[in-house]
A and B are shown apart, each in its own frame.
Chain A
C-alpha cells in the first residue's frame, strides 16, 4: 500500500459539523492567506449536528445576563466544568447567535422581531434560541452554504485513519477517499479535531451511526489525554434503535408503564411521576428493566393512548410520526417501546482554553473535545453552542498559533508515515479469526451493562476485563476487501478500533471515580465527594501501550462549588 497523493496545508480540520465548519469559515473570513482543508467522513450536511432539534442557549434577551447562563452551566455540570472555559462559552454565546444570523440562519423570532427563546431544563431563564424543531439542521445547512460561498476546501467522504506526530508535535494525517479509493497524506502546520461524540460505544444511543469517537481515539493514540471520559449523558426515552422521543410526550401527559401495567414512577417519584428530573426517570426505567418488570427484550412502554387520537394528532404530531416510521407503532393504537439511550459525550480530548491539546499543533473543539464546559452533565442547548463558540474561537486561536511562522520539524516524517501505512496495511494481511459485528455487539452490551445508569465497582471491574479482552481479540480482525472505495468492511473495522480505545479509557476512569456526580452514578458511592473528586480525570496511553490514569485540578475562578446539587 502506498500514498497516492501528498497535500500541504496550513490547517487541516477534521470534521464538518458545527464545530469544524465554524472554525473553517472564521479562518476564511479573517485569515484568507491561510490554506485550510476540511475533511469529513460524510458530506458536511450529513454530520450529526444536523440531528439536534431543541435549540441553542444564549442570553440574548434584554432581561437575561450571560453571568446567569454561566452559573446555570456550572451548577448543571456539578461544578466539574472549568470556570474560565464556561466564561468563554456564556459570554460569547450571544455573538455566536449573531454570527449565525449574519450568515443567514432562520432563527425563530418574536412578533417584535427579537429572538424567540424556549425553556430548557436546569436554566432560570427562557434562554434557548431555535429554528422550529430543526435547529441543528438549519444551522448546519446555513454554515455549509457560507462555506461553499467562501470557497472553503472541503474533502467530503474522506476518512481520517491516523495522525502523524513526532516528539509531541503534529506533522499531518493519513486519510482515504471513499469515492475514489485514493490514499492521501495531508501535511499540516496545525490540525483541528472536530469529530463529534462517541455515543455509539454504547449499544443504546441516540447518536448518529457515525458517532464513533474517531477524533478522540486518534488523539489518544497519538499521546493526548482523554479527559472526564467516564461521563456520558443518558436520556430516559429512546426507541429500541435509540432514536429520541422528546420530553414533550411526557409533558403532554404520557405514562410510563411496565409489563405488569403499573405506572412505576409511583415508586420512585410519586409527586412528579413521569416528569421527575431526567436522570431519575432514566434510572427508574432501568431499575424496572433490571428487576424483571420490563418487557422481553428490555424495555418499558410509553403510553399515550389515554390522551386520545385528537390530542395526539394536534399536540404531538412529530412524536407520532417518529413512532410510526422508526418503530412501526402508531401511538394512538399502541404504546411505544422505550428505554434509556446514551445521548452525549461530556468527556473528550483534553484541551486548554485555546482548544490546544498537549500535542503541539493539535487542537480539538466541539463534542470531541473536553475544554470542559459541561462538567459532569451538560445542559440541553449548550452543546450546539459549544460547537459554535469554540469552533469560531479556534478560527482565531489556530491562526494566532501559526502567526509566529510555526513549522514542525519534518526530519522523521517519511519514516513515520511509512510506519502508519504499514499499520494500515496490516489490517488487510493475514487470516481473520475474529469478526467486527461480534466484537462490536459484545462491546455495546458490556458498556450498557457495566457503565450504564448504575455503576458499581464489581460490575465495572468485570466490564473492564471484558473490554480489555475485546481489545486483545480486535487484533485478530482482518479486512478482506482491499479496494478502498466505499469499503464498509474497512470503515466498520476502523470505527470499532476507535471505540474500543474509548470504552477502555471510560472503564478505567469510571472505576477510579469513587463518588456519584452528574451522569456518573455509583451504587457503592452514592454521594458527591468534592474533597476527593472535584478533579478532572485523565487517561493517556504510554508508548508501551499501557494506559495511565491521572488527575487534574478544576479551574475555579470566582464561584465556590456547592457540596450537594438540588433542583
Chain B
C-alpha cells in the first residue's frame, strides 16, 4: 500500500519549519528508515536525516514517530501506515539543524560534564578481574544495560524534566554517571558523588519514567538514577 507520511522539514539556518506530506509505497518488512531513503532517492534528494548502521546499534536515526522518540531503523513502517498518517518530527529538547537532523551539542556537553571514563588508580590492566565480585547481581545487570546505551538521545528528547529545567543533565548523562559510580576500579568516586548531588545532577530527576519507555535498548535510565539516589540517601544518614 501507499503510506502517508507527514514529515518535518526545515531549511538550514532557519529556526522554524513545517510538515510536508509524502505518499510512499510501503511494502511489508520495510523500516521507517527505508521509507526515508525512498523519499531521498525518488522524491526530494535534499531531504536530510541521520543514519549509519541501520541495525539499531549506532544511535544515529532517532526521531519522533507519532510524537514518541524512537529509532527509525528499528520501526516497521507498514503497521504504522495501516493505522493512518505517520507523523515524523526531529527530537525535542535539542535544536533542529535541518529537516530531521537535531543538534546534539547540548547532548554531548551533558555527556562530557559527568567525565564518563574510568579513572584508574593504576595504569595497568587487570590480569584477573575480581572487582565484579564486589557488585550485586542487580548492579551487574544495570551495568550491562548502561554499556548498551547507544547515545541516540531518545531519552533526553522525551524527558519532561529536562524541558522544565535545562540545567538537568538528563537521563543519558545519568546513565554514564552510573556506569562509573559503582565501579570499584574508579578513582574519581568523590567527583561522581558530587556531580550526582549537584542541582542539575541525578537528584534533579522527578521519575517521569518516559526514559524507560522510549529507550530502544532497554537501558532503563530511571533505574540507574534510582540506584544513585539510594546511595546518596544512605550517605546522608
A residues neighboring B (CB under 8 Å): 42-43, 45-48, 50-51, 97-99, 101-104, 106-107, 109, 112-114, 131-132, 134, 137-138, 141, 145-146, 148-149, 179, 181, 208-210, 240-241, 243, 322, 325-329, 337, 435-437, 480-481, 483, 485-489, 492
Closest 10 CB pairs of A and B: A104-B118, A113-B128, A485-B12, A145-B117, A437-B41, A98-B125, A489-B45, A101-B125, A486-B48, A149-B117
The 8 Å CB contact of A48, one of B53, B78, B104, is B53
Alpha-carbon distance between A112 and B129 when the two chains are bound, in angstroms:
8
Interface of B is mostly: loop
Q: Please determine whether B53 and A109 come into contact, CB atoms closer than 8 angstroms.
A: no
Chain A positions within 8 Å of B129 at CB level: 101, 107, 109, 113
Chain A positions within 8 Å of B41 at CB level: 436-437
Chain A positions within 8 Å of B151 at CB level: 43, 45
Chain B positions within 8 Å of A107 at CB level: 129
The 8 Å CB contact of B74, one of A104, A146, A326, is A326
| Contact residues of B between 65 and 108, Cβ < 8 Å to A | 73-76, 78-79, 97-99, 101, 103-104
| B55 close to chain A: CB less than 8 A | yes
Chain B positions within 8 Å of A243 at CB level: 54-55
Alpha-carbon distance between A240 and B124 when the two chains are bound, in angstroms:
45
Chain B positions within 8 Å of A337 at CB level: 29
| B198 close to chain A: CB less than 8 A | no
18 more A-B residue pairs beyond the given contacts A101-B126, A148-B116, with a C-beta to C-beta distance below 8 A: A43-B104, A46-B50, A46-B59, A47-B52, A48-B58, A51-B53, A106-B144, A114-B128, A208-B55, A210-B52, A325-B56, A326-B73, A437-B41, A481-B46, A483-B12, A483-B13, A488-B40, A492-B40
Q: Please determine whether B54 and A485 come into contact, CB atoms closer than 8 angstroms.
A: no
A94: nearest residue on chain B (CB-CB)? Answer: B125
Chain B positions within 8 Å of A113 at CB level: 126-130
Chain A positions within 8 Å of B31 at CB level: 241, 325-326
Alpha-carbon distance between A327 and B13 when the two chains are bound, in angstroms:
37
Q: Please determine whether B117 and A104 come into contact, CB atoms closer than 8 angstroms.
A: yes
Q: Please determine whether B128 and A112 come into contact, CB atoms closer than 8 angstroms.
A: yes
- Interface residue tally on B, bucketed by range: 35 or more
Decide: A208 near B78, CB < 8 A? Known: A45-B151, A114-B128. Answer: no
Chain B positions within 8 Å of A132 at CB level: 144
Alpha-carbon distance between A486 and B101 when the two chains are bound, in angstroms:
8
Alpha-carbon distance between A106 and B118 when the two chains are bound, in angstroms:
11
Q: Please determine whether A325 and B104 come into contact, CB atoms closer than 8 angstroms.
A: no
Distance (whole angstroms) from the CB of A125 to the closest CB of chain B: 19
Mind listing 12 A-B residue pairs with CB under 8 Å? A42-B52, A48-B53, A50-B53, A104-B117, A241-B54, A243-B54, A325-B74, A328-B78, A436-B41, A437-B41, A486-B12, A486-B99
Q: Please determine whether A109 and B97 come into contact, CB atoms closer than 8 angstroms.
A: no
Q: Please determine whether B51 and A209 come into contact, CB atoms closer than 8 angstroms.
A: yes
A114: nearest residue on chain B (CB-CB)? Answer: B128
The 8 Å CB contact of A328, one of B29, B112, B115, is B29
B residues neighboring A (CB under 8 Å): 12-13, 28-31, 34, 40-42, 45-60, 73-76, 78-79, 97-99, 101, 103-104, 112, 115-118, 120, 123-130, 132, 143-144, 147-151, 185
The 8 Å CB contact of B97, one of A102, A148, A485, is A485
Distance (whole angstroms) from the CB of A499 to the closest CB of chain B: 15
Between A47, A98, A113, A146, the greatest number of chain B beta carbons within 10 A of the residue's beta carbon is seen for: A113
Distance (whole angstroms) from the CB of A509 to the closest CB of chain B: 28
Distance (whole angstroms) from the CB of A503 to the closest CB of chain B: 19
Decide: A51 near B58, CB < 8 A? Known: A327-B29, A329-B29, A486-B97. Answer: yes
Distance (whole angstroms) from the CB of B140 to the closest CB of chain A: 10
Chain A positions within 8 Å of B148 at CB level: 134, 137
Alpha-carbon distance between A210 and B58 when the two chains are bound, in angstroms:
11
Q: Please determine whether B46 and A489 come into contact, CB atoms closer than 8 angstroms.
A: yes
Chain A positions within 8 Å of B45 at CB level: 435-436, 480-481, 488-489, 492
Q: Please determine whether B52 and A325 come into contact, CB atoms closer than 8 angstroms.
A: no
Decide: A326 near B116, CB < 8 A? Known: A98-B125, A132-B144, A486-B97. Answer: no
Q: Please determine whether B12 and A181 come into contact, CB atoms closer than 8 angstroms.
A: yes
B48: nearest residue on chain A (CB-CB)? Answer: A486
Decide: A46 near B52, CB < 8 A? Known: A148-B117, A240-B29, A328-B78. Answer: yes
Q: Please determine whether A137 and B150 come into contact, CB atoms closer than 8 angstroms.
A: yes
Decide: A50 near B57, CB < 8 A? Known: A109-B129, A209-B52. Answer: yes
Distance (whole angstroms) from the CB of A95 to the closest CB of chain B: 9
Distance (whole angstroms) from the CB of A351 to the closest CB of chain B: 26
A437: nearest residue on chain B (CB-CB)? Answer: B41
Distance (whole angstroms) from the CB of A522 to the closest CB of chain B: 32
Chain B positions within 8 Å of A322 at CB level: 55
Alpha-carbon distance between A112 and B133 when the two chains are bound, in angstroms:
10
Q: Please determine whether B60 and A46 come into contact, CB atoms closer than 8 angstroms.
A: yes
Chain B positions within 8 Å of A488 at CB level: 40, 45-49
B146: nearest residue on chain A (CB-CB)? Answer: A106
Q: Please determine whether A109 and B123 come into contact, CB atoms closer than 8 angstroms.
A: no
The 8 Å CB contact of A208, one of B12, B50, B58, B143, is B58
Chain A positions within 8 Å of B13 at CB level: 483, 485
Chain A positions within 8 Å of B118 at CB level: 103-104, 145
Chain A positions within 8 Å of B112 at CB level: 148
Alpha-carbon distance between A113 and B54 when the two chains are bound, in angstroms:
35
Alpha-carbon distance between A310 and B143 when the two chains are bound, in angstroms:
28
Q: Please determine whether A146 and B12 come into contact, CB atoms closer than 8 angstroms.
A: no
Chain A positions within 8 Å of B132 at CB level: 109
Distance (whole angstroms) from the CB of B138 to the closest CB of chain A: 17
A42: nearest residue on chain B (CB-CB)? Answer: B52
B130: nearest residue on chain A (CB-CB)? Answer: A113
Q: Please determine whether A45 and B59 come into contact, CB atoms closer than 8 angstroms.
A: yes
Chain A positions within 8 Å of B126 at CB level: 101, 113
